[in-house]
Amino acid sequence: MEVPPGIKYLARTLPVALLPCALAFASLLRVDLPLGARILLSLLANPLSLFVSDWYQQVHEARHASSRGAELIPVVRDSRPFGLGTLAKLRESFRSGYPGDFIEDWREEYGHTFMTKIFFDRVITTTEPGHVKAILATDFDNFWKGPQEAQMSQSLLGYGIFNTDDELWKFHRSITRPFFSRERISDFDIFNHHSLAALELLKTRLANGYAVDFQDLVSRFTLDSATSYLFGKSIDSMSAGLPYPFSSPLADSEAFVNHPSTTYVRSFVQSQLMTLERAALQKRWPLFEFWKDRIKPHRKVVDEFIEPILNEALEKKRQKKETAAEGKTVEEGGEEETFLSHLVEATDNKEIIRDSIFNILIAGRDTTAATLTFAIYMLAEHREILAKLRAEITEVIGSSRMPTYEDFRHMKYLRAFLNETLRLYPPVPFDSRASKQATVFNATRPGEKTLFVPAKTRVRYSVFVMHRRTDLWGPDALQFDPDRFLDERVRKYLTPNPFIFLPFNGGPRICLGQQFAYHEASFFLVRLLQSFTNISLAPDAQPEESKPPESWKMRPGTQANEKIQLGLHLTMYSKGGLWVRMDRLAPETNSEIA
Ligand code: HEM
Ligand SMILES: *[C@@H]1O[C@H](CO)[C@@H](O)[C@H](O)[C@H]1NC(C)=O
Ligand SMILES: *[C@@H]1O[C@H](CO)[C@@H](O)[C@H](O)[C@H]1NC(C)=O
Ligand SMILES: *[C@@H]1O[C@H](CO)[C@@H](O)[C@H](O)[C@H]1NC(C)=O
């Protein structure tokens, strides 16, 4: 039986927490007091010691900061004790607000970098590109994911590439990296196979007169593509078919709801949502999942789904060894090496293999699916952009040929369109690191102050908010306009300051799948637009509770005009799906793929 998380937490923290109480109790022994009063006074020693050490820390840090010519990061004031007001605001924001709304709300008073304090735990939040650059690149050695993050996300990620540091991270990175070399990722057969299968589902469903949840469709496409690519075998989540709109009697059909891939995806999503809940609580999350880790059962469902593929790979390895042992020559070049077969060669530890697989599936499925989902959202909202994109596709590739690596190099507008989608709707809108030693954020712009970063402090950064700052991107920053990546605005804003655009992160932990993702998204879009036109949202199919609440109309920026609710787990998604309709292009213009 596993020890409940709450008990583990108390076992770890109580000895330290009770130390002041024990000391107080011992010193009160000399005072003539009833036992009850003595115990009560001793228990008070704990909160008192927290206040005192917090106060001492502040004095100490103020001195340390001024010795380095730095200022303290402003702390968000809270009218409720222990930062409970701050906690409530953060939880509300992550659960049902607009991404980063709390940053926008606090920015006027505290600037682009501020500190929140909840139960004496401090977290820095920044949207300053210079500081993000320090965290990810120039001061990389002093910022890591850290043990607290590992502990918080362990139920979900195990010890995979996303939540490890140092040697284990290097192991994962070195194993993963070769699979994203140029040669490997320029073969598009896998994308072609799965995108044509997806378009087939789309065609049939639209022809039957239903709207389609595009987010669901592309999540199946990216999952099947990623598994094909990484395991040499697709999970074939497309075989479940597509969901029907909630109003249809066919919605929630048993066959769909109970399809293994549906179960798998549900757990995949649930476990990520719960991990985000923990982030607001930081190291105290076990108190809120006292008796039972709520995430592990979901992770188990996901693992079970992958198990047969993993076992097959292990079996292959065993057979290969046997053949070699019997002195027979092993067939050369027979089967192509995949990420999985490589992993199985590198270790026998099933736990490590499972974690690696799970991490890379999170990396590969949701992010690219989000990119495609928000790309379609924007195409539905901006017909003139759809027309321009189609014009480029027609010119470079034509209406039916399969796109190639070489084609994409000539498709500047397509790339700019994807960049603009990643700017306003970055799939990973929030991220964080923890400082090791105390350090400073150097002033990066004239008039800015150098800020003191205490040791062992979490720093959260939001590229979602940074990508929308008008002072970094110009007065039209909130408009969706791919041309900003092609005209004089590039030279004015992006070229001199590349860290204002970070959909894939930067520095030594930059996304390994960046080019893979650009190709995958580009490929799907080209295939889609070779067959379809007139994309429009289908609000009648969108579940009512997933539409933006009335209160959003009063909010600043794009929030007021949003037609969908942006949801957050590790990645961003559209709550309730993205329901669309589109028209089929006349089949004779695309006979090859019809
Ligand atoms: C548009 C799609 C994508 C976006 C926006 C994206 C974004 C990111 C970001 C922001 C990180 C940094 C996370 C962190 O360190 O905290 C990351 C890391 C990573 N991504 Fe991607 N990603 C995308 C697609 C992919 C794909 C398709 C794959 C592989 C199939 C992939 C594999 C990875 C891996 C392995 C890492 C971990 C790198 C490390 O920690 O050393 N990504 N990605
Ligand atoms: C900050 O500035 C100091 C002094 O100029 C320099 O030594 C240090 O490397 C800078 N830090 C970063 C992360 O650039
Ligand atoms: C898109 O962004 C990538 C990554 O930042 C950059 O390398 C590329 O030049 C951009 N391309 C266009 C056309 O905007
Ligand atoms: C697209 O919409 C326009 C205007 O509503 C319509 O005239 C046109 O026929 C549609 N295209 C297709 C292929 O259905």
- How far apart are alpha carbons 175 and 346 in whole angstroms? 8
pLDDT surpassing 50 at residue 350: yes
Indicate which residue's Cα is closest to atom 1 of ligand 3: 419
- H or E stretch including 452? strand 451-453
Instruction: Decide whether any atom of ligand 1 lies within 6 Å of the 517 Cβ.
Output: yes
Q: Ligand 3 pocket, 419 CB below 6 A?
A: yes
Residue 501 CB–ligand 3 contact under 6 Å: yes
Per-residue pLDDT of 113-153, as tens digits, reads: 999 998 888 999 999 999 999 999 999 999 999 998 888 88
Q: Closest residue (by CA) to atom 27 of ligand 1? A: 364
Identify the residue whose C-alpha is closest to ligand 3 atom 5.
501
Lowest mean pLDDT among 31-45, 70-84, 157-171, 322-336: 322-336
Mutate which of 583, 584, 588 for ligand 4 pocket (most atoms within 8 A of beta carbon): 583
The pairing of strands 458-462 and 572-574 is unpaired
What is the DSSP track for 368-404? HHHHHHHHHHHHHH-HHHHHHHHHHHHHHT-SSSPP-
Evaluate: CB of 234 within 6 angstroms of ligand 1.
no
The pTM is what?
Answer: 0.93
Give 437 Cα–ligand 2 centroid separation in angstroms: 14
Higher pLDDT, 367 or 556: 367
Tokens for 153, please give them.
Answer: 């996300």
- How far is 293 from 275, CA to CA, in rounded Å? 11
Atom of ligand 4 nearest to the CA of 584: 13
pLDDT of residue 21: 84
Start-to-end CA span in the chain (Å): 56
So what's the pLDDT on residue 209? 94
Ligand nearest to the CA of 70: 2
Give distance in angstroms: CA of 337 to centre of ligand 4.
Answer: 46
Q: Average model confidence (pLDDT) for the chain? A: 91
Percentage above 90 pLDDT, the chain: 61
Q: Which atom of ligand 2 is nearest to the CA of 139?
A: 13
378-401 pLDDT, tens digit each? 999 999 999 999 999 999 999 999
Calculate how far, in angstroms, residue 395's C-alpha sits from the geometric centre of ligand 4: 21
Residue 242: predicted pLDDT: 92
Range with the largest mean pLDDT of 34-43, 195-204, 243-252, 585-594: 195-204
Residue nearest to atom 2 of ligand 4 (CA): 534
| The pLDDT of residue 331 | 55
Q: pLDDT tens digit string along 80-99?
A: 998 999 999 998 888 889 99
CA-CA distances (angstroms) from residue 147 to 17, 150, 251, 316, 569? 20, 5, 43, 36, 21
- Which mutation among 126, 128, 440, 442 tests ligand 2's pocket best, with the greatest number of atoms within 8 A of CB? 442
